[in-house]
Chain A
């Protein structure tokens, strides 16, 4: 039986990719962010999961509104890097896991979640902006991407995202290989990218969300999209994807690390939570 060892909630942002590619990680403006990922990178290295499931959203790079999936699951052996409109970043393609991917598809559908099953799914900054901060290349671990529609309303409810996490946990428990899995939920914390409210951030709300995510996630599943958008900015509705990660963990969790930094356009949040039914190596 496979097990989920823990989860990570993290912002994603094109600016993180830009800072990484321009080597700005030691500059005054970016150092706090890059340093913040150190302990989580170390934790991943120590615990060495065999697979990482990543919940994210595609930013109009793989999917268009001609047929926009509410949930999309990448089951291919390889996930190529997307050209988002300014050229592909210089990274190797991600490795997938077709066997686990198809198992996950079967288990999710049996549990009444019906993702679009993708044998090709190019990856954009929803995953790739933060992946190099979590591990070094060559990529050490296969990735199963699950894209959620958080762009074109109606988008799934916060509660639905949380229940998806529970269904993922169930699928992992049914898998007949003895592997250890980490799950990551990505999405910008407070931010708004359009209109006169461009640049809106709400540090207090972001931290309230991080508190509740750890100890009382049910509270966050009761909120509407309007609640999220009003408190964090319209594009921050992405935060509901962190609930999928949390739904896949044990009810009680151990905090490995938490970090927050909001310098420019968005609250960069990061939290790593260990499952309490797992014996972890000493920190």
Chain B
């Protein structure tokens, strides 16, 4: 039993999950700070214009930059990226949360959407 009985991230593992603990927040700090900056439209423009130069401004390590270049959302989350901030990186690059999720599950977007209860409802694509 943990010293902190109501707290998460140590008492028992949640399967296939990465609870955003202090440890993860500490490791992912630079990465998350870079991604958070993309809430500014000028910054999004600068990142799209030259991804590496923009990431250098935030002193990302080679390992961190490689994960962003690879759009490897699963690796970014495992490393310490926070999902709510990583969606800002994806959004800046024109990638949706659904696409991120399908990739993390190792599926195509269509294969993932077919698993949804509402899959048969017509969704307008625009």
The interface of chain A, by Cβ under 8 A from chain B, is 14, 22, 24, 27-29, 59-61, 64-66, 82-87, 151-155, 157-159, 192-199, 201, 224-226, 229-230, 234-235, 237, 262-265
Contact = CB atoms under 8 A, between A and B. Distances in A.
A153 B22 contact: yes
Chain B interface residue number, banded: 35 or more
A237 B60 CA distance: 30
Contacts of A196: 16, 104-106
A177 B105 CA distance: 53
Contact of B9 (A83, A153, A264): A153
A14 to B, nearest CB: 7
A159 B83 CA distance: 26
27 contacts: A24-B123, A27-B124, A28-B122, A59-B84, A60-B82, A65-B33, A87-B41, A153-B21, A155-B8, A193-B101, A194-B18, A194-B104, A195-B74, A195-B77, A195-B104, A196-B105, A197-B17, A198-B101, A224-B5, A225-B7, A226-B11, A229-B14, A229-B19, A237-B8, A263-B116, A263-B121, A264-B118
- Listed from nearest, the 8 A-B pairs whose CB atoms lie closest are A263-B118, A85-B88, A29-B121, A198-B101, A225-B8, A196-B16, A197-B16, A59-B84
A203 B39 CA distance: 33
B6 interface: yes
Nearest to B98: A265
Contacts of B106: 196
Interface string B1-32: 00011111101101111111110010001001
A72 to B, nearest CB: 16
Interface string B59-87: 00000000000000110010000111101
Contacts of A152: 20, 22, 25, 82
A82 B38 CA distance: 12
Contacts of A87: 41
Nearest to B116: A264
Contacts of B9: 153
A179 B123 CA distance: 43
B77 to A, nearest CB: 5
A60 B11 CA distance: 26
B92 to A, nearest CB: 6
A257 B17 CA distance: 34
A70 B18 CA distance: 20
Given A199-B112, A230-B14, A85 B38 contact: yes
Contact of B40 (A83, A199, A225): A83
A235 B83 contact: yes
B91 A86 contact: yes
Given A22-B126, A87-B41, A153-B20, A263 B117 contact: yes
B106 to A, nearest CB: 7
Nearest to A62: B39
B48 to A, nearest CB: 12
Nearest to A235: B83
Given A195-B77, A198-B104, A64 B36 contact: yes
A234 B15 CA distance: 10
Contacts of B44: 85
A66 B4 CA distance: 24
Interface string B97-126: 110111011100000100111100111101
Contact of A60 (B16, B36, B92): B36
A66 B92 CA distance: 22
